[in-house]
Amino acid sequence: MAGSPENRPMIREERIQRADDGEPLYDPELSVWKSGNSVVISIPTVARDILNIEAGDTPRVEVHADGIWIPRGDSRGE
């Protein structure tokens, strides 16, 4: 499978299945801070609930030119 992860058929299909009318379910303003060479942002409680992410999980995080995608925890296949 060549190309960017966001262009792979499996990712496109998953986005189509999860897409709503294009509006975000939750849109908070969050603080960003530096930790080593990384930038950190917290995931709000409502996002953790929607994505089914719990403390100690290691979810996949995809970085794309137009944003960051964090798949739902219950479909990670772990």
The predicted-structure confidence for 7-40, as pLDDT tens digits, reads as follows: 667 666 766 666 555 566 677 888 899 999 999 9
| DSSP assignment letter at 21 | S
pTM tops 0.95, yes or no: no
Place of tokens 């709000």: 44
- In which element (H, E) is residue 48 found? helix 45-51
pLDDT of residue 28: 82
Kindly report, residue by residue over 45-64, the tens digit of the pLDDT. Answer: 888 888 888 888 888 888 88
Task: Determine the average pLDDT of the residues in 64-73.
Answer: 80
Query: Given a cut of 70, is residue 74 above it in pLDDT?
Result: no
